[in-house]
C-alpha cells in the first residue's frame, strides 16, 4: 500500500523485490481519487509510471481516500482480497489491516534510503534535480508528458509554502496518512 506520488527509486526497488518473489504482485495505489499538492499525479499517471518499471506481473488496484479508517480498511480488504502478505510502512495502515494480512515492512525487502515522495515533490516544486530520485523510465515519462512542469505550475508555490522543500521533510501525521499516503 503506497501512494506512488510519484514512483521513485525506493518504490522501484521495492516493486522489483516483490516481483522477483511472487508470480503476481497486487499493488494498492492509495489516494487514487485525490488531486492536490500531496497527490499531484492522477491514478492513471501513476499506473503508467508503474508500468514503466517493466514488470509483467503487476496488478494495480485503486484505493480511494475515505477519511474514515475502519471503512477504508474494509474497502482495502474488499479490493485487494486475500494476499500472502501486505507490504506497508505506515503504522496506521498496518494497525488497520494487521488482523487480516500477514504484514511486511519495506525494510524487510530493501535497504533504507533517504528518497521519499515528499522529497521528489519538493524537488519538482523547486525545479531541482528530481530526475536522480526516480527511475530513468519514470523520469522520461514525466518529462514527455510535461508532468514536471504541471506540478511546478499548479503546486510549486503550495509545496514550498508548506515547508516541503527541505529534503526529507515529514509533512503528515501517521493517522492522516492512512487515507492520504496508502
- Count of H-run helices and E-run strands, the chain: 8, 4
Please calculate the CA angle 176-181-182 and round it to the nearest 5 degrees. 110
With a CB cutoff of 8 Å and minimum separation 6, the contacts of 21 are: none
Query: What grid cell was written down for 106?
Result: 519495506
CA distance 180 to 176: 6
Give residue limits of the domains in the chain.
9-169
Checking if the pLDDT of 179 tops 50, the result is no
For the segment 138-158, what is each residue's pLDDT rounded down to a tens digit?
A: 999 999 999 999 999 999 888
With bands split at pLDDT 50, 70 and 90, how would you rate the model's confidence at 174? very low
Mean pLDDT of 20-32: 98
Question: Which one is predicted more confidently, 177 or 13?
Answer: 13
Class of domain 9-169: alpha beta
CA-based radius of gyration for the chain: 15
Under a CB-based contact definition with an 8 Å cutoff, are residues 128 and 160 in contact?
Answer: no
Q: Check whether 56 has a pLDDT greater than 70.
A: yes
Amino acid at each position: 500500500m503506497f501512494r506512488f506520488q510519484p514512483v521513485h527509486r525506493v518504490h522501484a526497488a521495492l516493486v522489483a523485490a516483490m516481483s522477483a518473489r511472487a508470480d503476481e504482485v497486487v499493488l494498492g495505489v492509495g489516494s487514487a481519487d485525490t488531486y492536490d499538492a500531496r497527490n499531484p499525479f492522477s491514478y492513471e499517471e501513476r499506473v503508467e509510471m508503474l508500468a514503466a518499471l517493466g514488470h509483467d506481473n503487476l496488478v494495480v488496484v485503486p484505493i480511494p481516500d475515505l477519511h474514515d479508517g475502519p471503512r477504508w480498511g474494509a474497502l482495502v480488504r474488499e479490493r485487494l482480497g486475500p494476499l500472502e502478505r501486505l507490504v506497508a510502512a505506515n503504522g496506521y495502515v498496518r494497525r488497520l489491516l494487521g488482523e487480516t494480512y500477514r504484514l511486511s515492512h519495506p525494510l524487510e525487502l530493501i535497504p533504507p534510503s533517504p528518497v521519499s515522495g515528499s522529497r521528489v515533490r519538493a524537488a519538482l516544486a523547486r525545479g531541482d534535480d528530481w530526475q536522480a530520485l526516480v527511475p530513468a523510465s519514470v523520469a522520461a515519462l514525466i518529462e514527455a508528458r510535461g508532468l514536471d512542469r504541471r506540478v511546478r505550475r499548479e503546486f510549486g508555490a503550495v509545496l514550498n509554502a508548506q515547508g516541503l522543500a527541505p529534503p526529507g521533510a515529514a509533512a503528515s501525521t501517521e493517522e492522516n496518512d492512512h487515507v492520504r499516503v496508502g
